[in-house]
Amino acid sequence: MRVKILFVFLAITSVCKAQYSFSGYTNPEEWDRSVYLSIVEDYRKMSGVYSEQIIAKTTADSAGYFEFKGNILDTENRIYRIHIDRCSEIQQDANHFNGHCSDSEALLFIAKNTDSLKLPFSFDNQVFCHVESNNPKANAFVKIDSLKNDMRFAYGEFRSEANRKLNNKKWFKTLQYYGEALDEPLAELYIYTYLSDRSSELHSYYVEDLKNNTYYDNLKTRLENTYPNATYTKQYINELEADRYMLAASAGKTTSDWNLLLYSILGLSVILNSFFMYSFWKRNKSKIEDLKAKLSKQEQVVLEHLLLDKTNKDIAESLFLSVSTVKTHTNNIYKKLNVQSRDDAKSLFIK
């Protein structure tokens, strides 16, 4: 009976402490040992490296192994990126901020808080070419990238204007149908982003397709049903409405001064909201830095572990301290931050 109770307790504990684990290998002889995990909330920023997207950083060991783990991710599927680069410490901030770090390797994948993901070396020790995960949707982007490579090969077989036009028409529909067949709206957004990119030769096909194809409204429904609260859904709806408005305007269907005024106000509103959000972020960042400045370096380290919900025992083992020392640091942190508990401390740093 005691054994059964123990098994039940362990099962409940494993559910309550569900964690993600994303691990893999890099080649330490070729790459910097810093590895970054990002969450992609703007699907127009799936390619490139952006500092505001980075949520965690770790260091690969001498064999190139790295791992991200915890329980802070969304419980629903979201788009994540793991990337490595050769940027120096001086270059990193500038490159990541601009979104252009050409000397890098990255992997986009779909995951949630309970997923495990392994990235073993592929052929010829290439990184981020193969995905092993308990989430069947995880490698959707890898499949799409493979199809896009087939597309590039088809374009290169015979280069002519006629061949290019035939391939544009063929691959536009091929990619669209493939995304729908994957039965994952986030994968469809990956393809939609590519097909609707204004700098792409396929954009003209997207404009024509948008006029009569019900696919785009169906994708909107799939996103609303599967990810009603995700930023991707709201972004897609806004983009769809904007593109259709531009189509109508170009056809001479909406020329009234009222509509022009309305969209001018909308544009101004977007700019002001962006400014206020940035100002809030800067103030919050400054506030956090001021709070941490009140603590000693050792207390700051203990605080980081507290924010990850680690127990005193776990913190002591990680920092090679005694439990009593950890408790002393914790009490000092509470006093300096003027809080009474861990939850109070977390409320100051995690919004």
Instruction: Assess if residue 197 is contained within a domain.
Output: yes
Look at residues 119, 138, 157 and tell me which one is the last residue of a structural domain.
138
Same domain, yes or no: 170 and 250: yes
Blockwise average pLDDT, block size 10, the chain, 351 residues: 47 58 88 88 88 90 92 93 76 51 81 93 67 93 90 72 78 92 95 91 90 95 95 95 88 60 75 66 64 80 82 85 86 84 76 56
Q: Is 226 among the domain residues?
A: yes
Closest CA to 20 of 64, 79, 67, 62: 67
Q: Can you give the pLDDT at residue 16?
A: 47
Please count the structural domains in the chain. 3
Do 128 and 152 share a domain, yes or no?
A: no
| Lookup result for tokens 């010829």 | 124
Q: Please tell me whether residues 72 and 99 are part of one structural domain.
A: yes
- If asked whether residues 290 and 240 sit together in one domain, one would say no
Report if residue 220 sits inside a domain.
yes
* 105 and 203 within one domain: no
Residue 307 and residue 200 in one domain: no
Q: Which residue range forms the structural domain that includes residue 165?
A: 144-257
Q: Is residue 263 situated within a structural domain?
A: no
Q: Is there a domain that residue 328 lies in?
A: yes
| 228 lies in the same domain as 186 | yes
By C-alpha distance, which of 235, 168, 228 is closest to 202?
Answer: 168
Predicted confidence at residue 76, as pLDDT, reads 94
Task: Give me the pLDDT at residue 18, please.
Answer: 66
Could you give the CA distance from residue 298 to residue 302 in angstroms, rounded to a whole number?
6
Of 208, 241, 257, the domain-final residue: 257
Is 277 within the bounds of a domain? no
Which of these three, 93, 111, 138, is where a domain ends?
A: 138
Rounded to 5°, the CA angle 239-218-135 comes to 90
Q: What is the pTM of this model?
A: 0.64
Let me know whether 112 and 22 are in one domain: yes
| 118 occurs within a structural domain | yes
Contact 93/118 with Cβ under 8 angstroms? no
